[in-house]
Structure 1
Amino acid sequence: MKKEVSIIGVPMDLGQTRRGVDMGPSAIRYAGVVERIESLKYDVKDLGDIEIGRPKNVEVASENNLKNLKEVSEASEKLAEKVNDVIGSNRFPLVLGGDHSIAIGTLAGVASHYKNLGVIWYDAHGDLNTGDTSPSGNIHGMPLAVSLGIGDDKLTNIGSSLPKVKPENIVIIGARSLDEGEKELIRDKGIRVYTMHEIDRLGMTAVMEEAINYLSAKTDGVHLSLDLDGLDPNDAPGVGTPVIGGISYRESHLAMEMLAEADIITSAEFVEVNPILDEKNKTATVAVALIGSLFGEKLK
């Protein structure tokens, strides 16, 4: 992992309808993310926040069953450019959300630097919906589909018109809430998914070993997209779409530690921290602790 890290905040709350997640980057900073990474001997630059436009009607604006499409696409373009610049400067981009729609911009910025980008999607959800399959029209449930080149052109063409990632280079970890359209897409594209059933049955060590070996064999970079709702709500209560029965705090640390040891992660984002729904900034604190493990923090 590169020893130079650039932090980009994306105070996005337009990919869904529960207010407060736009304060996620501030909450993660307040929980000490910069100090945590610097203590591990990294050179850290905090580049501040991407500016997010505001629609007149946040909760009712809809186009092709996509809420706030214009604002999300514009913010994604800005983020893609910023991430592209960070990687072009030979630094590691660490993106702080904000709702998970920001992954559209992150992956658009990352993808141009790799021929076979891998993605670890650490999440309770598949985020593989489109305007046609989404029950809500919330774009935070669509970024992985968009990155596969599936969805509205205003989103899939960000950065370039090419798909940002191949389905065989994706590993979803922690899934336990998938819509029917997402299940169909997973089967059709052959996307590798480790649901909570596999994590419970195999154990997190085996799941991560398999995921790391699977991606290491065929990718030239791996992006980690970690949604805090991948964890159980007891450990990460401050998220907009909590799903009980999730990955534990300790299992998540193990996963991050194993990724650090494998040294395959070339970019990362931590998303969906909502301080309004949180308990004394607990979820942001968890995010910072997991970031520490990802960047190589050890007890001894």
Structure 2
Amino acid sequence: MLEPLAFADAIAQLELGTPPHPEAGFLGGRLRPEDAALLLIPVPWEATTSYGGGTSEGPNAILQASHQLDLQDPFFGEPFRAGIAFAEENEEIAQLNAQAKAVAQQVIEALEQGEEAATVADSLDLVNQASERVNQRVYQQASAALGRGQRVGLVGGDHSSPFGLIQALAERYPSFSILHIDAHHDLRQAYEGFEHSHASIFYNVMAQIPQVSRLVQLGVRDYHRSEVEHLQGLGQRGRCFYDAAVSQRLLQGEPFAAICGEILDALGDAVYISLDIDGLDPVNCPSTGTPVPGGLSYAQMGFLLEQLSASGRQIIGFDLCEVAPPPNGGDWDANVAARLLYRLCGCLLYGSKAQAGG
């Protein structure tokens, strides 16, 4: 275990820009998690993944890729000065993932072969119970950090991972919007029988967390009719800027800045950001579990974060999910994700006294 440094020494070490120790933390830092202004919770969980896998390895891959980042951002400045650190991975979550993923794959295969759901009821119960346990652990970890006055972001894992963080934030913010960037709606009810499926995260959030006043979705381009109907049923609580419609507007010459303004107008004053990496063009994330042609460019995603920060809205938290290292090696996906994660940190800290060193 690499010995951590006191806050001032940890920041001074990052300022040097020298190659970090392989066992160093986020960005190559050596800050104690409890000393960070912004705590990043890694969640190595992907039990209900139904297509490609590997997202449980995402948090560690992103952490390692972050070691080669230069830390000056053209818009957000130097967010690292606030103090950003990964929490230790929860060993129970990793164990639950290994156990539940094997069972979940058996369920998925049985359903694909036409078996009735009743024949796999016990297996579904096991996976659902494991999912609840993960949600509890994330909620507890997030609540403890928020109670210490820390800001919190989450690094998945599949997109079911942030439910506990959103729960914890809902206890502290009576009303907030979610800006959800994704190729998918994630509005399925208990997809494949899994109550906390990665495809069900925002069905669950909107049904169980009334403090979420509005869900604003961007990048969606692969979905089921039932999800469109469910979004419509949310009334004023739900809005989607479908990728096909946004692309058409751009091809007709409308500036992306104008579309961003419309997206921001749909949000309230307090905003949580939920970023599934497959919301971006797959050139940025070829190994993610469910890549879909289309999506935002890296530059568009960055511009959206900048405009969100400049709008003066309060960013209360975020998650970055569905990043998977390629099975044959390489770190392109993690490299892109590490840079996005640092920009998300900058967005959360933008304008705060913490970033200014106060």
TM interval, shorter chain, is 0.7 to 0.9
Alpha carbons 2:174, 2:211 under 8 Å: kept: no
Aligned to 1:185: 230
Higher mean alpha-carbon deviation, 203-212 vs 264-273, is at 203-212
Aligned to 2:156: 97
Work out which of the residue numbers 200, 212, 225 in structure 1 matches 2:264: 212
- Say whether residues 1:239 and 2:284 are aligned partners: no
- Say whether residues 1:199 and 2:246 are aligned partners: yes
Alpha carbons 1:120, 1:172 under 8 Å: kept: yes
Q: CA deviation at 1:25?
A: 0.3
Q: CA deviation at 1:275?
A: 0.7
User: Which structure's CA Rg is the greater one?
Assistant: 2
Q: CA deviation at 1:10?
A: 0.1
Q: CA deviation at 1:80?
A: 1.1
Aligned to 1:59: 105
Alpha carbons 1:80, 1:110 under 8 Å: kept: no
- Say whether residues 1:249 and 2:294 are aligned partners: no
Amino acid at match of 1:175: V
TM-score where L is the length of structure 1: 0.83
Residues 265/135 of structure 1: CA separation in 2 closer, same or farther (3 Å cut): same
**Unaligned 5+ residue runs, structure 2?**
1-35, 73-77, 108-119, 351-358
Name the % identity: 25
Work out which of the residue numbers 132, 136, 139 in structure 2 matches 1:77: 136
Cα distance in 2, alignment partners of residues 78 and 187 from structure 1: 32
Total equivalences in the alignment: 278
**Unaligned 5+ residue runs, structure 1?**
150-155, 157-161
Which residues of 2 match residues 26-45 of structure 1 at below 5 A?
26-32=60-66, 39-40=78-79, 41-45=81-85
Aligned to 1:270: 320
Deviation sequence 1:72-103 (CA, Å, 0-9, x none)? 11101110111122222222111101000112
Instruction: Report the secondary structure of 2:169's partner residue.
Output: helix
Aligned to 2:41: 8
Structure with bigger helix share is 2
Aligned to 2:3: none
Residues 224/20 of structure 1: CA separation in 2 closer, same or farther (3 Å cut): same
Amino acid at match of 1:233: P
Amino acid at match of 1:129: R
Aligned to 2:13: none
TM-score where L is the length of structure 2: 0.70
Q: CA deviation at 1:34?
A: 10
Cα distance in 1, alignment partners of residues 204 and 68 from structure 2: 30
Residues 277/252 of structure 1: CA separation in 2 closer, same or farther (3 Å cut): farther
Structure with bigger strand share is 1
Residues 113/37 of structure 1: CA separation in 2 closer, same or farther (3 Å cut): farther
Cα distance in 2, alignment partners of residues 135 and 180 from structure 1: 16
Residues 266/104 of structure 1: CA separation in 2 closer, same or farther (3 Å cut): same
Q: CA deviation at 1:178?
A: 1.4
Cα distance in 1, alignment partners of residues 128 and 185 from structure 2: 20
Q: CA deviation at 1:108?
A: 1.3
Aligned to 2:112: none
Cα distance in 2, alignment partners of residues 203 and 11 from structure 1: 38
Amino acid at match of 1:187: Q
Cα distance in 1, alignment partners of residues 259 and 125 from structure 2: 34
Alpha carbons 1:231, 1:247 under 8 Å: kept: yes
- Say whether residues 1:21 and 2:55 are aligned partners: yes
How large is the RMSD of aligned CA atoms in angstroms?
2.7
Alpha carbons 1:238, 1:278 under 8 Å: kept: no
